């Protein structure tokens, strides 16, 4: 590479500066939405009372849409233009954002997932379009620097997204955790959820106005691929629409198969099945099949797709679980306060992106990426094993290590491509599927490890029956629900405010619980349904509750009354066949204070141990950076040039 010449060539020629600025706005927009969506995982986990792996469905929908629609975006660019990609991408985003309104009104997690999929589908089309669009705005010699420069505005949008999430979404979340919410009256819970979902909608819907401004600009803009005669833009409109329609049909067929199929598929499986259609379209179309085969035979491209998959996976997984990590090592901290560390991470990401972009004038980008991958591995090890006062900062430092990876992999993989660049860009955007696969896998590891640690704890204190119950259903922790009820008894009325309200409510619930043995029929059902977590009990469950209450001895002290009250989750769920478990809990009450301390340790250990997954991802990026350095690329390009067309 001629570094002297590269340093004198402008990154963005003058004639492209205004459209480049508008494209940079798109980079900031999807960065903002990516990171604001990361905050929906802990928010929806609390709002809809779901666990880590279920709440990761947000990321599956978001990044799965990237994978499903990336090929459609490349076909759109091939048949029409970069401008068409920008317009349709922004249109999809605006429709998806507006769908947040009915999702909030219906308090439906499923509708949110569909809205997120549509919104992210628009971002997939935008990203597939804008990255090669930026590469085309000037000399090939400065293409990697130009893309890194444009991508530098992506984390600025990300930081903005975190602030919006912090002050509009997270700060308006009620402090009650999942078990406390399950113990609320339906009317109280509905009012809280309605307010929380309103604030979820505000930033997403508000951004539609900005997207509209960009959309109107590109309506009037003429891109080079529209004005320069090519086979694509001289083909009849009917032919273009026909090929694009066929691609859409290939996307819909797998969707309809799943919709009408009697099989049940996980969300990740659904995304993978929907990806089959676009890939099949490429294979049956001779011109696209030819482009695809050329790309597959190019090692730095195919390996780049793999590296991008793991890089995006580590970025989304680390940022998604940052807040959970902070809350696990500092028990009692709320989401809004924990998000400060997320903000520090993004600030470091932005600073390192700017520094590394400048250093690329002097140093090999691939070598820099490999070095940062090694640093990322070391930071992950620190996050796993160092004391919490230090580990939270190694967690933040991981973001600095990730700063240059996406655009560098992108630039290396697409460097020197000709007509295949649009399809090549789609492949790299499909690799964003890593965020939909690795993030929920990491969440599943956290959930499973927490349950294993919980089971091991009960076995260690010689409570094998409770261990069996916890191991049998990892999604319903009886001991966790019991702990929540016990913690209600610790509310101090003298402190006033929420503490006083909780204390008064607990006393009322305790009196109701004590009166249940003397009640029968409708009176029993009515009283029982006012207790925490009992409002939705079926007649069969109420009957079970009544039968299990008869096993309780008369409470001799207030402490025993509280212990029996905390048994409500067991009394309403354990059938006669598990009477041995209930008898064990009655005769040998759990030490709740000891269990609370142990449970906090379970979660912390689970979150820490899950960071072995980012280590694997960084290792893949390290290998790619090492084997595809610029000297290798130069030899490869010389070899390609020597092959006759």
Homologous superfamily, domain 15-447+602-642? MFS general substrate transporter like domains (1.20.1250.20)
Task: Write the burial class of residue 518 (CB in 10 Å: 0-12 exposed, 13-18 middle, 19+ buried).
Answer: exposed
**Domain limits, CATH 1.20.1250.20, in the chain:** 15-447+602-642
* Nearest Cα residue to 635 out of 420, 421, 416: 416
Of the candidate ranges 39-43, 84-88, 622-626, the one whose mean pLDDT is the lowest: 39-43
* Nearest Cα residue to 566 out of 590, 545, 584: 590
Are 586 and 502 spatial neighbours (Cβ–Cβ below 8 Å)? no
* Nearest Cα residue to 157 out of 128, 134, 123: 123
Rounded to the nearest integer, the mean pLDDT of the chain is 82
Going by pLDDT thresholds of 50, 70 and 90, the confidence category of residue 139 is low
Give yes or no for residue 361 having a pLDDT over 70: yes
Complete DSSP assignment for 286-302: HHHHHHHHHHHT-HHHH
User: What kind and span of H or E run contains 542?
Assistant: helix 539-549
Cα end-to-end distance, the chain, whole Å: 24
CA distance 569 to 585: 12
pLDDT mean over 505-513: 87
Give yes or no for residue 59 having a pLDDT over 50: yes
Distances in Å between the Cα of 336 and the Cα atoms of 42, 149, 169, 517, 540 are: 11, 31, 9, 43, 41
pLDDT in tens, 532-584: 778 778 888 888 888 888 888 888 788 888 888 888 888 888 888 888 888 88
pLDDT attached to residue 10: 67
**Phi-psi label, residue 480: left if phi above 0, alpha if psi -120 to 50, beta otherwise:** alpha
Out of 236-250, 307-321, 545-559, the most confident range is: 307-321
């Amino acid at each position: 590479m001629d570094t002297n010449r590269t340093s004198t060539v402008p990154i963005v020629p003058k004639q492209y500066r205004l459209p480049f600025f508008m494209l940079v706005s798109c980079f900031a927009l999807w960065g903002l939405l990516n990171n604001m969506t990361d905050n929906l995982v802990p928010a929806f986990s609390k709002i809809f009372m779901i666990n880590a792996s279920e709440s990761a469905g947000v990321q599956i929908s978001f990044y799965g849409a990237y994978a499903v629609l990336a090929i459609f975006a490349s076909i759109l660019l091939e048949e029409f233009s970069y401008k068409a990609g920008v317009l349709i991408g922004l249109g999809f985003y605006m429709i998806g954002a507006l769908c947040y309104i009915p999702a909030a009104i219906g308090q439906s997690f499923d509708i949110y997932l569909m809205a997120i999929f549509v919104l992210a589908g628009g971002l997939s089309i935008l990203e597939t379009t804008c990255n090669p669009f930026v590469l085309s705005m000037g000399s090939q010699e400065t293409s990697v620097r130009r893309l890194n420069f444009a991508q530098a505005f992506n984390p600025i949008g990300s930081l903005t997204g975190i602030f919006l999430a912090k002050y509009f979404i997270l700060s308006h979340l009620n402090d009650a955790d999942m078990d406390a919410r399950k113990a609320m009256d339906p009317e109280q819970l509905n009012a809280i959820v309605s307010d929380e979902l309103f604030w979820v909608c505000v930033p997403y819907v508000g951004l539609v106005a900005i997207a509209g401004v960009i959309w109107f600009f590109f309506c009037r803009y003429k891109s080079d691929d529209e004005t320069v005669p090519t086979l694509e833009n001289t083909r009849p409109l009917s032919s273009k629409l026909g090929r694009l329609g066929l691609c859409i049909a290939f996307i819909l067929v797998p969707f309809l198969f799943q919709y009408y199929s009697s099989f049940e598929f996980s969300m990740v499986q659904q995304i993978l099945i929907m990806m089959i259609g676009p890939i099949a379209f490429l294979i049956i179309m001779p011109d696209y099949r030819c482009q695809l085969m050329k790309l597959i035979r190019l090692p730095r491209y195919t390996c780049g797709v793999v590296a991008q998959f793991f890089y995006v996976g580590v970025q989304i997984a680390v940022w998604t679980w940052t807040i959970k990590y902070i809350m696990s090592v500092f028990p009692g901290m709320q989401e809004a306060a924990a998000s400060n560390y997320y903000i520090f991470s993004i600030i470091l990401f932005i600073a390192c992106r700017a520094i590394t972009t400048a250093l690329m004038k002097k140093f090999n980008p691939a070598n820099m990426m490999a070095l940062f991958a090694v640093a990322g591995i070391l930071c992950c090890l620190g996050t796993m094993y160092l004391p919490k006062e230090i580990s939270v900062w190694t967690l933040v430092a991981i973001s600095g290590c990730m700063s240059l990876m996406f655009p560098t992999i992108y630039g290396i993989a697409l460097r020197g491509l000709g007509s295949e660049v649009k399809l090549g860009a789609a492949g790299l955007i499909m690799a964003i599927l890593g965020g939909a696969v690795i993030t929920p896998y990491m969440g599943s590891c956290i959930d499973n490890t927490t349950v294993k640690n919980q089971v091991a704890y009960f076995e260690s204190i010689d409570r094998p029956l409770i261990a069996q119950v916890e191991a049998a259903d990892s999604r319903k922790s009886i001991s966790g629900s019991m702990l929540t009820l016990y913690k209600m008894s610790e509310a101090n009325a003298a402190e006033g405010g929420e503490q006083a309200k909780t204390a008064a409510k607990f006393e009322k619930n305790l009196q109701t619980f004590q009166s249940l043995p003397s009640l029968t029929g409708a009176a029993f059902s009515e009283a029982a349904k006012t207790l925490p977590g009992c409002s939705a009990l079926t007649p069969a469950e109420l009957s079970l509750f009544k039968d299990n209450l008869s096993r309780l001895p008369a409470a001799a002290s207030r402490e025993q009354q509280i212990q029996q009250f905390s048994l409500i989750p067991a009394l309403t769920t354990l059938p006669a066949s598990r009477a041995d478990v209930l008898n064990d809990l009655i005769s040998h009450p759990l030490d709740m204070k000891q269990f609370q301390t142990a449970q906090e340790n379970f979660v912390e250990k689970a979150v820490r141990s899950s960071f072995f997954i980012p280590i694997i991802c960084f290792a893949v990026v390290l290998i790619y950076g090492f084997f595809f350095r610029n000297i290798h690329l130069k030899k490869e390009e010389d070899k390609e040039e020597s092959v006759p067309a």
